[in-house]
Structures are given as structure tokens and as C-alpha cells.
Amino acid sequence: MAAKKDYAGIAAAIVQVCGGAANIRNVTHCMTRLRVNLVDTGKIDEVAAKQIPGVLNLVVQNGEYQFVIGQDVAQLYEEFEKIEGIDAAGEVDDAAAAKEDAQAAKGGVANAVLSFIGGTFSPVIPVLVAGGLTGAVLTLLTTFAGVSSDSGTYQVFYYLNQATFYFLPVFIGFSAAQRLKSNGFLGAFLGATLLFFTMNIQEDVTLDFLGIPVQSITYNSTVFPVILGVLFMSVVYRFLQRNMPVYLRTIFVPLITMLITVPVTLIVLGPIGNTVGTWLSDGVLAIYRVAPPLAVAIIGLGTPWLVFFGMNNATYPIVFALLAEVGSDPLICTGMAPANVAVGGACLAVALISKSVEKRSVAVGAGVTALCGITEPAVYGVLFTERFPLVGAMVGGGIGGLIAGFVGMTQYVISTPGFISFAAYINPDGTGGNLMWSMIVMVLAVVIAFVVTYVLGKRELAKTGV
């Protein structure tokens, strides 16, 4: 069992290696990291920082020092709020934002696109998980609890489930605008406008704007149209903010921004985004249909790398395209499920063979978290520090994905892939075959990853004696 962390002690140690409280400009935190900005970066002792008990790693991006802590980073952050003289500036959007931004700057257009998409979806994940798993709760209620689909209880949960995905453009619009450092509420406003347009589409009625035809596209549960619209909106918004007199900005910047953005989105960007989404779903399904086991195995094999580079959230548009096309996700989340739990198996093997109490503690905590579907602490704190558990996790995830593809395993709702989201694998028709195979696949992935990591770790231990 992982030892209880001394958060006050960890905080004091971080302050010390950073050159004292006076050298810390501000502290924020995200999902797994404590992010520190310094007055004088020459005063930090990076070697000592990485050796602090409870710190899994130190990542430096764009002059910001990110102490990788794990899912309990908020508890450590509370200790910094108590330290006089340190500006505790709250929580930031996502764990990989700064790293993604740095990679985007170095990696060209492709990385910039993936960075933006991943950073946009990351804050929306809690909504997607809660709403998606509510669909699984509905299946459990009707199949095992005898709740009628006509009952008020069912209807309330059904509204919760449907609202999540119907109003998805609002959530994505807000998050995308925030990511672009624009006005998040105008981004949400654009999403709401697209939905209102969808609600008022009439059959056999052609709409035009200044004589230009407007395509009748349903924008609910889509992502690319609103993302493209927000990108354009942010350009307009920033231009007006820079060039309009200060005393006119409050009224005219939002007004003119939306008067320009909405027609352009409905006439040009919306249809383009809809086409891109269709092409994406068709392309992914074509690849999956050619060789399902191989396609899912690749996802299972590569997921730890996606997490390491902060690109795992960039796969959500593909997930939504699959859900819209076939009603479930037989590829992305299906491949990530054995991959995530395999990471947990690899960590538990590391805990078993490690001679260091600190390493065992970190590995156990990260392993249990990974079995539930959250792998960042394990990836940063175990897999990419020892390397042999990375191999074990990749083998377990790859073989698990291969088997998942062979048996046709799929995930019916959005959730964090792992054992804790078992309800996501229950077929809405009430049959249990997919759930059974999902559990078998994940258990096998854990066992394989554990065994491979244990064997490789023993060899490594024999060589190094550490």
C-alpha cells in the first residue's frame, strides 16, 4: 500500500530547491502537475528537484517548471496556498498544455493542430465522461433494475445523457475560445447559435443569407464546424480588440465579431467542418474494416506514447466520428482500454521487484490509478524513468488490442477506458457478451504486462543490482 504523502514536507522541499519563496513568481496546478514560475531561473536546483520524495519528474517548458506529482497534486497545491509571499494562482486547464504548446512551436502545422484539439477537449472530458456513462447507467437500470423507459427516473437520466452530446458544440466552443485566449463565452455563443440553427431547420425550405445559400446541416454532436468557427471568430475578435477605440470595445467588439462570424460559419466553415468529419469517419472505418485486430493493436501499443506527448485527447474527434457513424467506438477507446490497464500491470510489477521503498510507493499508487484509466502518473513517474515497464505496458496493450479487434470488442459511450468504466462496455440491448470480452481482454492485458515487466525488470536488476 502506498505510504501517505507528507504534502507540507514536499512543498517545503520544492520551495527550497526553487531558491526560496521570494524566487517563486507564482504557482498553479493542473491535473497532475504543480507548475512553478520563477523570478530567477538560475537559482533552481533541477537535480535536487527530481530527487524530492513525492515528485515523479520535473518538466521544463517555456521557462515554466512543472513538478509531476500525480492526481493528488491539488492537495500539494493547498500547502502552497498557506505559504506567505507565494502567489497561488489557481488551477489551469490541462496537464499537458504547456508541453503541447512547446511541441507545436517546434513541430509545425500537424503538431499545432493536434495540440489545439487536445487542449480544447481536455477541459471538457469530465462532461463527456459523466454524460457518456449516464447512458450506461440507463442500460443498467432497464436491464437489471426493472426501471421502465417511460418512468420519470429514466427520463431524468436520459435528459442528462442526451444534453451532454446535443450541446457539445457549446462546450467545445467555450473551450476552444479559451484555448485561443479569446472570449470563451462568445465561443459558447457560437455553439449555441449553431444548435439553434439546427433546431429550426425545416424540410423543403432553402435558407439564404444575402442571396447566398446556407446548407441545412445538423450541428449537434459535431465538433469540427464549431472548432473552425471559433478559430475564425478569434481572429476577428483579436483584430477588433486591437484596432477599436477602448470606449467602443465593450459594445461593438462582441456585436461585430458575431455578426461576421455566424454567417461565415454557416455558409463556409460549417459545411467544410462537416465534410472533414465525414471524411475522417469514413477513413478511420475503412482502415478498421481492412484489419480490425491490427488497427486496435496499434492503438493499444501506442497509447503510452500518446499520453507522454500529451496527444491522447486529440483523438476525441475520431471517437465522435465513430459514435456518429456506427453508434460505438470499436477502435480508439477500445484500444486504449487494454493499454491503460496494461500500464497498471507494468507498474505493479515494478512495485514487486523494486528494492526502493519510494519507488514501490510511487509504482503502487500509479498502478492502481492506471487500472482505473488515468495513466499520466504512471507514464511520467514509472514507464519513462525505468524504460523496461514501458516495454511491458506496450506488449500488454498491443496484445490486448489485438484480441479486442479479433473478438469485436467496442465501447458504447464516452468514458475513461479502464476497469472503473466497465458500464461503458455494456451493450444497450442488454446482452453481456461485449462486457464479458472487455473484462477478459483487460485482465489479459494486465497479466501480460505484469509478466513481461517482471521478467525484464529481474534481468535489469541482475545487471545493475539496483
The answer on 325 and 208 residing in a single domain is no
Q: What range defines the domain where residue 314 resides?
A: 291-464
pLDDT score recorded for residue 170: 94
Residue 420: inside a domain, yes or no? yes
Closest by alpha carbon to 446, among 410, 380, 399, 409?
Answer: 399
- Strand, coil or helix: 357: helix
Output the CA angle 59-64-66, nearest 5 degrees: 35
Q: Are residues 84 and 207 in the same domain?
A: no
Cα 231 from Cα 229, distance rounded (Å): 5
DSSP state of 94: -
The values of phi and psi at residue 155, to 5°, are: -65, -40
**Do 328 and 414 sit in the same domain of this protein?**
yes
Amino acid in the structure at residue 358: E
Distance of alpha carbon 201 from alpha carbon 220, whole angstroms: 12
Instruction: Determine, yes or no, domain membership for 155.
Output: no
Provide the H-helix boundaries in 211-269: 224-243, 246-264
Q: Which of 40, 64, 92 is the last residue of a domain?
A: 92
State whether residue 179 is helix, strand or coil.
Answer: helix
- 241 shares its domain with 354: no
| Nearest in space to 394 (alpha carbons), one of 460, 454, 346 | 346
Residues 278 and 172 in one domain: yes
Residue 80 shares a structural domain with residue 47: yes
Q: Which residues of 45-55 are buried (b: 16+ CB within 10 A; e: fewer)?
A: eeeebeebebb
Is 414 inside a domain boundary? yes
Confidence at residue 111, expressed as pLDDT on a 0 to 100 scale: 62
Residue type, 326: V
Question: Which of 268, 288, 308 is at the close of a domain?
Answer: 288
Q: Name the domain count of the chain.
A: 3
The DSSP result for 410-424, as a single string, is: -B-S---SSGGGGGG
Confirm if 336 and 299 have CB atoms less than 8 A apart. yes
What pLDDT, on the 0 to 100 scale, is given for residue 324?
77
Q: Are residues 278 and 320 in the same domain?
A: no
| pLDDT value at residue 102 | 45
pLDDT value of position 138: 82
Same-domain check for residues 179 and 277:
yes
Helical residues (DSSP H) of 200-331, grouped into ranges: 224-243, 246-264, 270-290, 292-308, 316-326
Q: Is 181 helix (H, G, I), strand (E, B) or coil?
A: coil
CATH of the domain at 24: 3.30.1360.60
Task: Show pLDDT as tens, one digit a residue, over the chain (466 residues).
Answer: 445 678 999 999 999 999 998 899 889 887 778 889 888 888 999 889 988 988 888 888 767 898 988 777 888 998 998 888 888 766 665 444 444 444 444 455 666 676 677 778 878 878 887 887 787 788 778 877 888 888 998 899 989 888 888 898 999 999 999 888 889 999 999 999 999 998 888 776 778 899 899 988 888 867 889 999 999 999 999 999 999 998 888 899 999 999 999 999 999 999 999 888 888 778 878 888 888 899 999 999 999 988 877 677 778 888 887 887 788 889 999 999 999 999 999 999 999 998 777 778 778 888 888 898 888 778 877 888 778 999 999 999 999 999 999 999 999 888 888 888 888 898 887 788 999 999 999 999 999 999 999 999 988 877 665 5
Q: What is the pLDDT of residue 2?
A: 45
Last residue of a domain, one of 53, 71, 92: 92
d(CA 376, CA 385): 13
